[in-house]
Structure 1
C-alpha cells in the first residue's frame, strides 16, 4: 500500500521503517526530527514538502503526533489531510488524543468518504523498533480490515475495543492505571527508605504478593537509582496523557477523582522542573526538599 506517515519522531520513525521493510511505499513530511527522517529516506521513504504532497495518491495515512491539537491541525487545516486524501482512503490516528475530538474528526472525514480509525499504541519505543506494538483500535470493522496490512507491519497485537473514539478512551484509561501506579510506587519506595527498609528485600516481598505488577517489575530499579541517562517516556507527555483521563473523569460526578488527582500530580512534576525527564523521576516530588507545601492535595477541582 502507499502510505503517508505524519510524525517521524522517536515512536513514528521506527514504525515507518517497519512499513518500508514490509514492502509498503512510504511518504513522509519534512520535519525538525531530521535523524529519523534521514534514516527513513536512506531506507527508501519519499520526503515531501507539504501535507497535500505527502497525501497525494496515498491509500492510507498514519498519524503519530503529540496529541489532539496537532492531529486536528494536520487533518482539518486548509491544506490538511481532510482535503488531500482521496475518497475511500483511510486515516489512522496512532496518537494519544481526546475521544470526543476523534469522533468529531471522524464525522467530518466521513463527509468526504474518507475512513478514520483511532489506533493508539503501547509497548513504547522498543515495541516500535521490533514491530511488536499493541494497538487499541476504535472504528468500523470494515475500515479496520482494510487498514490491517499496514497495522500488521508495525505490531503483533490488535484489539478492537469499540466504535470510533474507543481506542483513545482505552489508551487514556491504560495510562491512568500505569502512571497512577508508577506514582504510588514512587511514594512506596520513598516511605520504605525513610523507614529503613532496604530496596531489594522490599521489592522481593512486594513481588511475592498481591502488589506484584508490571510497573513494579519494570520500573522499581529506575525509580530507586534516579537515573537520568535515558528518557524512555517524557514526563511532560505523561502529564498530557493524564490530562485526557482527567477530561474523561470530568464527565462523571465523582467529587474526588483519582484521575484528576494524578493529572494534577504529574502537572506539578512538570512545573517542578522534570518536564523533559523520564517518568521515573516522578519520585523527586516525594523527596523532602522544602517544597512539600506546594504539592497538590487530594482536592481536585
Structure 2
C-alpha cells in the first residue's frame, strides 16, 4: 500500500505546509526537519509527523524526500551539505525537487546522486497555497518511467493534475516555460493598464472588455482582483521569485544557444521591479510599479 511509503519533507513554506499536511492526512508516515515556521512544524507533528534536526536524518528515515524551497542554491545546499541529504542517503532513496529550480543544477545533482543508488526527480508546482492546502496543485514531473511510477502515489496526495513531462530535468524546464507565459502576461497586463490610465481609460473599463472574452483566464482574474479590489493575497507569488525564475529561463536559453528577446524583456520588467525594494511584493502588484514609473496610479 502507498501509505507504507515513508515520506520526508523539507521546506514548509506557503506551499510546502499544505503539501506536507495532505501527505500525513492521507496516511503517509511523514518526517520533517526543523523549520523557521514553527507553526507549520507544530501543526504537522500534531497530526502524527516526526520531526528531525537535519536533512541527513530525514533522508535516513525516508523512502521519498520532497524538497520545496526557494531556489537552486538552497536545493544544492540541502543535498550537499555536511549534514545534507546525500550524507544520510541510502540505496533506493528517491529525492524529488518540487522547487522551481535551474534545470542545469537539477541534472548535475541527479548525476552526483546516481553513484549512491539515489534516484532524483523534479516535480515543480503550479497554482497557489490555497490549492496546496486543498491537495489540488498542478504538477509537472521529470523522471524516468520507473521513478515516476514510484513517486506518483505520493504526489497524488497533494496534486490534482499530474503531467509526466519526460526525463529528469524536463519538469523544471517545463515549469520555467509555464512561468514565462504567465509572467509575460503579467508584464503585459501591467503595461497595458498603465497605458490605459494615461490615456484616460479606467482599470474597470479595461476589465469590462477583457473579462469574459477570449483573452480572459484564471491568471488574469487573480491579477485583476488585486488591481480592482486591492486584494493583496489574490496571487501569493513574489516579484523576487518571479525575477529568479526568469533568470533561470535565461540560463536555460543560453544552454541551447537560443535567442529569447521577449524573455529578457519580461525578466528586466521584474528585475527592475525587484530593484525598487519590492521583491517581497506579490506579482499583481507589479501593476502599481509600472504605473508609478509612468507617472500614474491604478487605485
TM-score of the two chains, using structure 1 as the length reference: 0.91
* Alignment gaps of 5+ in structure 1: 293-301
1:68 pairs, out of 60, 72, 86, with: 72
Deviation string for 1:235-260 (max 9, x for gaps)? 11111111111222323556561111
Change (3 A) 1:106 1:191: same
Aligned to 1:296: none
Q: Is 1:153 paired with 2:160?
A: no
Aligned to 2:50: 46
User: Does the 8 Å CA contact 2:125/2:175 hold for their aligned counterparts?
Assistant: yes
CA distance in 2, matches of 1:142, 1:253: 32
Change (3 A) 1:231 1:124: closer
Q: Is 1:116 paired with 2:120?
A: yes
Aligned to 2:145: 141
1:177 pairs, out of 181, 202, 209, with: 181
Offset of residue 221 of structure 1: 2.8
What SS does structure 1 have at the residue aligned with 2:226? helix
Deviation string for 1:160-182 (max 9, x for gaps)? 11111000000011111101101
Matches within 5 A, 1:248-287: 248-251=252-255, 253=257, 257-287=261-291
CA distance in 2, matches of 1:45, 1:203: 46
What SS does structure 2 have at the residue aligned with 1:47? strand
What's the RMSD between the two structures over aligned residues?
A: 2.0
CA distance in 1, matches of 2:256, 2:168: 21
What SS does structure 2 have at the residue aligned with 1:61? strand
Change (3 A) 1:39 1:230: farther
User: Does the 8 Å CA contact 2:235/2:284 hold for their aligned counterparts?
Assistant: no
2:106 pairs, out of 102, 108, 113, with: 102
Q: Is 1:14 paired with 2:10?
A: no
Aligned to 2:36: 32
CA distance in 2, matches of 1:244, 1:44: 37
CA distance in 2, matches of 1:117, 1:41: 26
2:209 pairs, out of 185, 205, 208, with: 205
Offset of residue 149 of structure 1: 1.9
Change (3 A) 1:187 1:155: same
Q: Is 1:82 paired with 2:83?
A: no
CA distance in 1, matches of 2:61, 2:202: 60
Change (3 A) 1:288 1:117: closer
Change (3 A) 1:109 1:256: closer
Deviation string for 1:45-73 (max 9, x for gaps)? 11111122222231110100111001111
Offset of residue 85 of structure 1: 1.9
Change (3 A) 1:74 1:22: same
What SS does structure 2 have at the residue aligned with 1:87? coil
CA distance in 1, matches of 2:240, 2:251: 17
